[in-house]
Amino acid sequence: MAAIRTKPDPQIYTFPGFGTDKFPNLMLRGAGDLDNWHLKTYEQKHEGYVALKAALKLEPVAVVEEMKTSGIRGRGGAGFPCGLKWSFMPKDTADRKFTRYLVCNGDEGEPGTFKDRAILEYNPHQLIEGMIIGGWAMQCAKGFVYIRGEFLWLVEKLEAAIQQARDAGYLGKNILGTGWDYDILVYRGAGAYICGEETALLNSLEGRRGEPRVKPPFPAAKGAFGQPTTVNNVETLAAVPPILRMGGAEYAKLGTPKNTGTRIFGVSGHVKRPGLFELPLGTPMDFVVNELAGGSSTGRKIKAIIPGGASAPMFDEKDFDCPLDFDTVKARGSMAGSGGLICMDEDTCMVQATLRLIRFYAHESCGQCTPCREGCNWMEMVLHRIEHGEGRMEDLDLLASLTPRIGLRTLCPLGDAACGPMDSALQKFRHEFEHHITHKTCYATGSRLLSTVGAH
Amino acid sequence: MNHPLPPDTANEPLAPGQRLPDSERKEFSPEALVEIQAIMAKFPDKLAATLPALHIAQREFGFVSLAAMKAVAQAIGIPEGHVFGVATFYTMYQKAPVGRFHLQVCTNISCALRGAAQLLEKVCEKTGVKPGQGPSADGLWSVEEVECLAGCGSGPCVQVNHDVYDEFVDEKKLLEVMEACKRGDYRPWAK
């Protein structure tokens, strides 16, 4: 077996007051400590596998009920209530037995998001424990963890951690005397952003091209290998042990009534202290950016923030006070997505920033649906033209007319994701696009965002 | 009535598979075959072994050549066309030879805000290769511009071969990484 990587990383995971009742430390426990992944440390320091032992004494239905009480919503992007998702799994009847699977989505590819990586690095056992509890609640036969291909060292670490759990009897045959057999397999992707979409992930897990499937049938009816499947994000599953330890009702007191619990926000871009901050949902965005991440690193004012990973429409100054929970962010015209805040200062050229984002979607479109495959490429070409001083005023109307023809017209949300940044940039920073067209140069004076040697 | 001319085969474009460069190696080693068999047995369907087998092929062959795809199809017992489709879908399977140290620079938005574009230019200048150009003359370096590596908080980040090295890479740090490569501190790209 390959040696486990022990390279320290310079990421910031904490802030003053972290770990107190106001800012409970549920998922980033021990983050920053490279020895933390061992089973012994997890059991001794972080109440490891306590929740599992309690859960195995409960009926599976009771565990699902506890998750429903906690009100936790999926942390992957869509914010679907996790307990409800679990309850969709078909139950065995007298004449029909199902083979059910639980799949963990660790294909973290959304620009601006780097939370799952910290969980896998420092707390793999918490994820494993969450997956075993989830497996028990839905009576699954197997769990699969799909991890993006770039995280090779994390795949090795997780496999080592799973082996430790197997040796301790938490996985395998007849787990802790319940007569229930369950095992977790790790699957490594190969570099496709689209595989973060649940049905594309299932295709990839089956060894196919990562192209999203037509829904229905939903994964709960026909998922991995044709069997009923639930797909949960790494962060959602890692939140399961704390929920069962403290009780669903207690967990529901964190955050706001319809957006319960804590979530890991990643702050990146032009801030002094970029890093991961675990906070109750509903924490205002300006508090996260100014107090925790230290505000602008360049000395210039922050002009735009993307509140939920690259797919979320941008916010400008007037929305910086937005509380970060699923509903409020949505009501203000963006989405909480995966919780990655990308901050851009005044000197950032929004045309370049938008072009960089759209280029990403054009590159990552799987090519299955015409509106997304062609539309993203056309948006990229038109933006490229504007950026290189060959734009025409009609191009802005052309861009605005493209997005309604892409959004909601594709199998998966990748097309919609590309429209978010495009629409919001055009709405909120139209003057920069116009300046580019009339003056043939950037409105902002910051350093270039696009390299001159790019292969794209 | 004019009869159509016979097709001019001399200038016809090559079939997709024939456009790929060839690898020296043509077959898996026996250990790799055992490894693939073990993966096939673990999953409910043998098709699931396609992605892991291609990763193994990349490790053994140096890159995923047509011969590697055929070897994967044969080892698992699935159609060659399926393997070709999968191998060309995912960007981490290199379809052309790469250098001993494959430098992958993320230039997506979070890293770009912290100077990834300038870093990529620096990487190209120091190694003497451009993205997508294949290895340098000494076979040491190749450069690729990649999408988000999930190192947004500590960007710009560079991945060397299979590991992400993401500590706020600037010019000084880049030179250190390149020195470390030459010393052999990094996991090799392939066997």
Q: What is the pLDDT of residues A236-274, one digit of tens each?
A: 999 999 999 999 999 999 999 999 999 999 999 999 999
At B29-47, the pLDDT tens digits run 999 999 999 999 999 999 9
Where among A315, A345, A375 does a domain terminate?
A345
Percent of chain B with pLDDT over 70: 98
Chain B touched by A172 (CB under 8 Å): no
d(CA A22, CA B149): 32
CB A51 within 8 A of CB A129: yes
Q: What are the pLDDT digits (tens) for B155-176?
A: 899 999 888 777 788 999 999 9
Pairs of CB atoms within 8 A across A/B: 190
- Does residue A363 sit within a domain? yes
For the segment A87-122, what is each residue's pLDDT rounded down to a tens digit? 999 999 999 999 999 999 999 999 999 999 999 999
C-alpha A117/C-alpha A65 separation (Å) is: 29
Residue A84 lies in a domain: yes
Which chain B residues contact residue A5 at CB under 8 A? Answer: 163
Domain count, chain A: 3
CATH label of the domain that carries residue A157: 3.40.50.11540
pLDDT of residue B1: 60
Q: How far apart are CA A197 and CA A212, in angstroms?
A: 7
| B101-183: CATH number | 3.40.30.10
A431: left (phi over 0), alpha (psi -120 to 50) or beta: alpha
Residue ranges of chain B that CATH labels 1.10.10.1590? 16-89
Closest residue to A10, CB basis, from B86, B91, B168: B168
CB atoms A455 and B116 under 8 Å: no
Residues A148 and A227 grouped into a single domain: yes
Domain span at A372: 350-439
- Chain B interface includes A340 (CB < 8 A): yes
Within chain B, all domains assigned CATH 3.40.30.10 are found at 101-183
B113, B148, B163 ranked by CB distance to A270: nearest: B113
Residues A229 and A116 in one domain: yes
Neighbours of B38 (CB within 10 A): 11
Mean pLDDT of A190-215: 96
Which residue, of A225, A252, A279, is where some domain finishes? A252
Mutate to test the interface with A, among B147, B162, B177, B186 (most CBs of A within 10 A): B147
Min distance B117 CA to chain A CA atoms (Å): 4
Residue A449 included in any domain? no
Q: Tokens for A177? A: 């005397």
> Cα–Cα distance between A3 and A294 in angstroms, integer?
37
* Residue A305, pLDDT score: 97
Which residues in chain A are contacts of B148 at CB distance < 8 A? 109-113, 193, 310, 360
Q: A210 contacts in B (CB within 8 Å)? A: 89-90
Q: What pLDDT does B186 receive?
A: 82
* Per-residue pLDDT tens listing for chain B (191 residues): 677 777 677 777 777 777 888 888 899 999 999 999 999 999 999 999 999 999 999 999 999 999 999 999 999 999 999 999 999 999 999 999 999 999 999 999 999 999 999 999 999 999 999 998 889 999 999 999 999 998 899 889 999 988 877 778 899 999 999 999 999 888 888 87
Note whether A273 contacts B: Cβ–Cβ < 8 A. no
pLDDT at A1: 54
pLDDT in tens, A52-63: 999 999 999 999
A21 within some domain: no
Residue A6 resides in a domain: no
Residue A329 in tokens: 């962010």
Do A342 and B162 make contact, defined as CB atoms within 8 angstroms?
no
Kindly state the DSSP code that residue B12 receives in the 8-state scheme: P
Cα gap A59→A57, rounded to integer Å? 7
How far apart are alpha carbons B18 and B84 in whole angstroms? 12
Considering the domain architecture, whether residues A354 and A340 belong to the same structural domain is answered as: no
Model confidence over A308-349: pLDDT tens digits? 999 999 999 999 999 999 999 999 999 999 999 999 999 999
In a domain, A58, yes or no: yes
Q: What amino acid occupies position A108?
A: E
Are A219 and A265 part of one and the same domain? Answer: no
Which residue among A252, A282, A310 closes a domain? A252
* Interface ipTM: 0.94
Residues of A in contact with B152 (CB under 8 A): 111-114, 266, 268, 274, 340, 342
Architecture of domain B16-89: Orthogonal Bundle (1.10)
Residue A164 sits in the same domain as residue A262:
no
**Alpha-carbon span A210 to B85, nearest angstrom:** 10
A46 with A165, same domain: the answer is: yes
Chain A hits for B166, Cβ within 8 Å: 9
B44 CB neighbours in chain A (<8 A) are 99, 142, 225, 227
Residues A284 and A358 in one domain: no
Query: For residue B129, what is the nearest residue in chain A, using CA coordinates?
Result: A453
When the pLDDT of each residue in chain B is averaged and rounded to a whole number, the result is: 91
CATH label of the domain that carries residue A321? 3.10.20.600
A427 has pLDDT over 90:
yes
Mutation site, A114, A116, A265, A447, interface B, largest B CB count within 10 A: A114
- pTM equals 0.94
In angstroms, what CA-CA distances link A4 with A161, A172, A280, B177? 10, 23, 32, 20
Residues A87, A225 share a domain: yes
Same domain (yes/no): A48, A196:
yes
Which DSSP state fits B167?
A: S
Residue A455: what pLDDT? 43
Contact A357 B109 (CB under 8 A): yes
On average, the pLDDT of chain A sits at: 94
Decide: residue A249, CB within 10 A, 0-12 exposed, 13-18 middle, 19+ buried. exposed
Do A310 and A383 lie in a common domain? Answer: no
Which residues of chain B make contact with A191, given a CB cutoff of 8 A?
Answer: 90-93, 146
A282 touches chain B (CB under 8 A): no
Instruction: Give the per-residue pLDDT at A2.
Output: 65
Of B147, B159, B162, the CB nearest to A363: B147
Shortest Cα–Cα distance, B67 to chain A (Å): 19
Q: Are residues A160 and A295 in the same domain?
A: no
Q: List, in sequence order, every beta strand (DSSP E) within chain B.
A: 101-106, 141-146, 158-160, 163-165
User: Nearest-CA distance from B2 to chain A in Å?
Assistant: 38
